[in-house]
Amino acid sequence: MPTKITVSSSDSMSNEEIKLIQSAFNELPLKEILMGLKFAKNRWRAKDAGTLKVGRKSIIQKEIHSVTSEQATWRLNHWKLMISNYRRRGYSYPTISRIKKLLMEISKNN
């Protein structure tokens, strides 16, 4: 027997959005819907608090943006110091590796 769920929102919902919600509840298992809602809620809280981490591409672009070849060479020569700084900021090793690869390319353009 189907269970009836009532949804209220402070935002106005279009008929298309209502149909999308209905189809999601009809097609997806309830556990999957709850996992998705939990993820969205946690992401919303992090965004609201200003603690949402940006994606890897954004991190890499932020680190190499406007770096001259001399700066890239210095960073590569002092790589252990750079790794400790990156790890302190919470960057993963794959992200650090990608930063190093791009710094190497920048330093070669000397």
List the domain boundaries for the chain: 15-49, 56-108
pLDDT of 81 reads: 95
pLDDT of 49 reads: 76
pTM exceeds cut of 0.75: no
Distance, in Å, from the CA atom of 60 to the CA atom of 19, rounded to the nearest integer, reads 39
Distance, in Å, from the CA atom of 27 to the CA atom of 50, rounded to the nearest integer, reads 34
pLDDT of 110 reads: 65
Closest-CA residue to 4 (of 20, 36, 26, 19)? 26
Q: Give the rounded distance of the alpha carbon of 107 from its chain centre.
A: 28
Q: What is the mean pLDDT of each run of 10 residues along the chain (110 residues)?
A: 82 91 92 93 81 71 90 95 91 91 90
pLDDT of 71 reads: 95
Distance, in Å, from the CA atom of 76 to the CA atom of 92, rounded to the nearest integer, reads 18
